[in-house]
Amino acid sequence: MVSVGSIPTTLTKIINMKDYIKNELAMLDRGIVATPRTREGLESFAKSNNGCCDILLMQMAMNYGYKLALENLETELA
């Protein structure tokens, strides 16, 4: 059971987490390597590059995975 004294602290942590997620998602749009908006966008890039730029493709995939994780957290906190 949550004590009444801990509720403001919990709400503050949730608000701080929401701000963190918002900032991280914004940073993904400003990075050197583009973050694909969709899985289809990532797959399209992978098909069109024919095996070259694998480092770039790997970074795009990591960015996309991070984006999905942040969006899932954002949904859970809503």
**Could you report the per-residue pLDDT of 5-54, keeping only the tens digit for each?**
566 788 888 889 999 999 999 999 888 888 999 999 999 988 898 878 78
* CA-derived radius of gyration, the chain: 17
Predicted structure pTM score: 0.76
**Which residues have C-beta within 8 Å of that of residue 63, sequence separation ≥ 6?**
28, 31, 33, 34, 35, 36
Q: Is 35 helix (H, G, I), strand (E, B) or coil?
A: coil
Query: What does the angle CA 72 – CA 19 – CA 42 come to, to the nearest 5 degrees?
Result: 40
Number of domains present in the structure of the chain: 1
- The residue range of the domain holding 14 is 4-77
- pLDDT higher than 60, residue 1: no
Q: What is the pLDDT of residue 26?
A: 92
